[in-house]
Every structure is written in structure tokens, then in C-alpha cells.
Amino acid sequence: MSEMATFGAGCFWGIEAAFRRVPGVIDTAVGYSGGHMPNPTYEDVCTDETGHAEVVQVTFDPAKVSYEQLLDVFWQIHDPTQVNRQGPDFGAQYRTAIFFHSPEQEAAANKSKAALEASGKFRRPIATEITPAAPFYRAEEYHQRYLEKRGAASCHF
């Protein structure tokens, strides 16, 4: 039985590539979540007016990888102190966000965020929002596995 996890951590191309390498991840899809416009396009989201974040929806086998392990990957692959930006990308669509799918995921996400804040790893506060999973709108096909299709290992950062 598989479970779903949804993360926003900047440009979804690199985030998807990182999660695809995790053993126990069954599938990934990039898309948009957390906004107010139904069925947004990439162009819509790039206006920074729809409220959506670029996200990766991760389908995983909890017998092979735990949600907590996926959270560890999430924290490692971006700067969670950045507000509405990652690297050279800026706008609300690049915000750091965890969209939980169950009370257990919510509790794990909050515990993980609190532990990271307490660790002193970052000088600035963690800006990651933790909110209930919102409707997920799959991005256009050319965005799916974008880096893999181009033989690239990662984005610009």
C-alpha cells in the first residue's frame, strides 16, 4: 500500500529529481498546490498571482521509506529559511512548504521542523509552511522528469 507526500522547495525540477533517487519512492509528479485558481498553467503560476507553490507529489512505499526519511530529504535539498525564493528563483511559487495528507504527517512535519529549528543549523528562522494538502494540479507534461529528460543531474543550485 502506497502513501502520498507533497513538498514545495523551490523549482520543482530539481526537487523531483532528488526524490526520485530515494529508495522506496514509487513515483513523482510535479505540479501546483496551495493556490486559489483552479487548473492553473505554468504561465498562470509564474504571474505570482494564483497563490500556488511549485510542488512535487511523491508516491512512496512506507514499508521501504518512512515519511520522516522523506522529510529529512526535504530539509537537505533546499534552504528552508528563504521566504518565497530558492537560489535565483523568487516569488511565492518557490516558497518552502509541506502539504500534509494525514494527522500523522502533520505531527511528523511539525516535530521535524521543530527539531531542525532547535539544532541551530540555520541562523534565520525556518520559513517552511505546514498546511493541509490542497488540490494538486499536475504540471504540463514537459515539466515532468524535466532534468531526467535532459540528462541533467540538478538545477542551477
Residue 151 has pLDDT above 60, yes or no: yes
Give the start-to-end residue ranges of the domains of the chain. Answer: 3-149
How many beta carbons lie within 10 A of that of residue 132, not counting itself? Answer: 12
- The answer to whether the Cα torsion of 22, 3, 72, 18 is positive or negative is positive
Q: What average pLDDT is seen over the chain?
A: 91
pLDDT in tens, 86-131: 877 788 898 999 999 999 999 999 999 999 999 999 999 999 999 9
Backbone angles phi, psi at 80, to 5 degrees: -75, 0
**What pLDDT, on a 0 to 100 scale, did the predictor assign at position 157?**
43
Residue 149 has pLDDT above 80, yes or no: no
Residue 83 has pLDDT above 50, yes or no: yes
Question: What beta strand segments (E) does the chain contain?
Answer: 3-9, 25-33, 53-60, 85-86, 89-90, 96-100, 129-132, 137-138
SS3 24: coil
Residue in 5, 9, 11, 53 annotated catalytic? 11
Backbone angles phi, psi at 108, to 5 degrees: -65, -40
**What pLDDT, on a 0 to 100 scale, did the predictor assign at position 154?**
54
The DSSP string of 44-86 is HHHTT-S--EEEEEEEE-TTTS-HHHHHHHHHHTS-TT-SSEE
Q: Is 11 one of the catalytic residues?
A: yes
Residue 84 has pLDDT above 90, yes or no: no
CATH of 3-149, one of 1.10.3720.10, 3.90.650.10, 3.30.1060.10, 3.40.190.10: 3.30.1060.10
Between these two residues, 153 and 90, which has the higher pLDDT value? 90
Question: How big is the CA angle at 58 (ends 16 and 10), to the nearest 5 degrees?
Answer: 40
Residue 146 has pLDDT above 70, yes or no: no
Contact 106, 15 (CB under 8 A): no
pLDDT in tens, 32-60: 999 999 999 999 999 989 999 999 999 99
